[in-house]
């Protein structure tokens, strides 16, 4: 297994040579205005700019040229791709996420998809300027992270889950020990005490795989103040929930789902993937007591990415997980220019978690205390 390489450890000359080796996609990878580079066979190279997909005039010399570039990218980070394992997830030296598929799975030539990595990670104010989220909602998220709420960020592909996870993680106090677990390391945390772990695919003999699930179990032995999992997609959801329920609160993760309710069923399915036969009600009880908030992201028809709801999980009624929306996106339709318009506003429901915030003595941002004043409600049992 080759050593994992980090851009920060590489000299400028080596970095220049690395980008040069990317051939016709070099300039696209370096172009800050592009968010995605998609190669479908050696002749078709597409990019995404401002949410729109465009065909470029770039081409590789032939199929072998494209295969050499794919092999170069994946072997630089200790991964491999061949007819026995024709699909791979890897990353570029700058941290951009890479997926490659070759024959016999790719029918019309090798495919390479690069999700660009922002060298200068977005801050919360960037997301407010993009219209992804409002200042009040950021204030609420910040206070919840500081009060150690367990937060799930849910959304479809390309909705900006990792970006929002990065922003939410930036609110973790600087003196806490954070363990991050990812398939391909993309999170850019600026706190001092961060322990980063990355999963590993099987080797040539199909052995020595280290999955997200093993890393979550191991993280619990590392005395973390926080566990941040890049994405939950299988049995690790069970370990994550158990961690959240046994004092490792303040954990953050993302999952693939199109609505908050859908996120709950996805969690249930993922827990079952751990191979432990638990009754549905028991799983739902675990979810209801572990997860405090679900932040739902959506991608609009015009390419804008927006937080469409922030929902608080309040408990169980019978066999159903109960939840209440704290902030919601209200669509006002499409403008003449084809831009989606709408407002993201508080629903007026006072979140249970506000009492936890006041009790924890978390400094409440002024924009938030206007929306949810501290009225020290008559004792309400914690959820």
CB atoms within 10 A of CB 121: 18
pLDDT tens-place string over residues 282-306? 999 999 999 999 999 999 988 889 9
Owner of token pair 């609110």? 171
- Residue 375: its pLDDT value, please? 63
182 within 8 A of 194, measured Cβ to Cβ: no
Q: Dump pLDDT digits (tens) for 326-336.
A: 999 999 988 88
In the numeric block, which tokens belong to residue 341?
A: 């318009």
pLDDT of residue 3: 39
Is the model's pLDDT at 38 over the cut of 50?
yes
Position 95 scores a pLDDT of: 84
Distances (CA, A) of 244 to 21, 151, 238, 248, 289: 44, 10, 10, 5, 9
Place of tokens 């973390």: 224
Fold of 124-371: Rossmann fold (3.40.50)
* Total residue length of the chain: 383
Position 267 scores a pLDDT of 96
- Tokens linked to 262: 């859908």
CB–CB of 219/227 below 8 Å? yes
Q: Can you say whether residue 376 is alpha, beta or left, with left for phi > 0 and alpha for psi between -120 and 50 degrees? A: left
Question: Are β-strands 320-334 and 194-198 bridged in parallel, bridged antiparallel, or unpaired?
Answer: unpaired
b/e code 296-316 from CB counts within 10 Å (16+ = b): bbbbbeebbbbbbbbbbbbeb
pLDDT per position as a tens digit, 118-164: 777 789 999 999 999 999 999 999 999 999 999 999 999 889 999 99
- Half-sphere exposure of residue 180, counting CA atoms within 13 Å on the CB side? 23
pLDDT at position 6 is 55
Question: The domain at 7-115 falls in which architecture?
Answer: 2-Layer Sandwich (3.30)
Over the stretch 172-194, which tens digit does the pLDDT of each residue have?
A: 999 999 999 998 888 889 899 99
Q: Which helix (H) or strand (E) holds 43?
A: none
Q: Which of 284, 272, 197, 198 is nearest to 235 (CA)?
A: 272
The pTM of the whole model exceeds 0.85: no
Enumerate the domain spans of the chain.
Answer: 7-115, 124-371
Peptide bond between residue 104 and the one before it cis (omega within 30 degrees of 0): yes
């Amino acid at each position: 297994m080759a050593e994992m390489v980090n851009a920060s450890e590489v000299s400028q000359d080596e970095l220049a040579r690395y980008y040069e080796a990317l051939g016709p996609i070099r300039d696209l990878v370096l172009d800050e205005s592009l968010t995605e580079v998609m190669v479908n066979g050696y002749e078709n190279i597409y990019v995404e700019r401002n949410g729109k997909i465009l065909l470029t005039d770039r081409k590789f010399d032939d199929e072998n040229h494209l295969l050499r570039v794919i092999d170069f990218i994946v072997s630089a980070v200790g991964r491999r791709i061949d007819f026995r394992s024709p699909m791979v997830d890897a990353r570029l030296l700058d941290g951009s996420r890479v997926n490659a598929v070759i024959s016999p799975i790719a029918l019309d030539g090798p495919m390479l998809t690069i999700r660009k990595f922002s060298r200068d990670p977005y801050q919360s104010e960037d997301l407010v300027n993009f219209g992804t989220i409002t200042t009040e909602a950021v204030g609420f998220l910040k206070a919840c992270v500081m009060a150690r709420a367990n937060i799930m960020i849910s959304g479809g592909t390309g909705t900006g889950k990792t970006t929002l996870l990065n922003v939410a993680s930036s609110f973790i106090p600087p003196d806490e020990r954070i363990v991050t677990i990812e398939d391909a390391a993309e999170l850019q945390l600026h706190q001092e005490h961060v322990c980063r772990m990355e999963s590993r695919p099987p080797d040539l003999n199909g052995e020595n795989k280290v999955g997200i699930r093993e890393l979550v179990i191991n993280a619990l032995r590392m005395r973390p103040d926080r566990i941040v999992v890049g994405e939950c997609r299988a049995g690790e959801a069970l370990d994550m929930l158990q961690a959240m329920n046994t004092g490792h609160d303040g954990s953050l993760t993302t999952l693939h789902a199109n609505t908050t309710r859908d996120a709950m069923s996805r969690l249930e399915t993922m827990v079952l993937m751990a191979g432990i036969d638990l009754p549905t009600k028991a799983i739902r009880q675990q979810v209801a007591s572990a997860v405090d908030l679900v932040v739902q992201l959506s991608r609009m028809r015009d390419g804008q990415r927006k937080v469409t709801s922030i929902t608080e999980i309040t408990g169980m009624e019978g066999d159903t997980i109960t939840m209440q929306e704290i902030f919601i996106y209200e669509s006002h339709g499409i403008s003449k220019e084809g831009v989606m318009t709408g407002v993201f506003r508080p629903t007026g429901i006072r979140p249970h978690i506000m009492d936890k915030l006041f009790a924890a003595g978390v400094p409440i941002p002024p924009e938030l205390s206007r929306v949810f004043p501290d009225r020290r409600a008559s004792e309400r049992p914690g959820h």
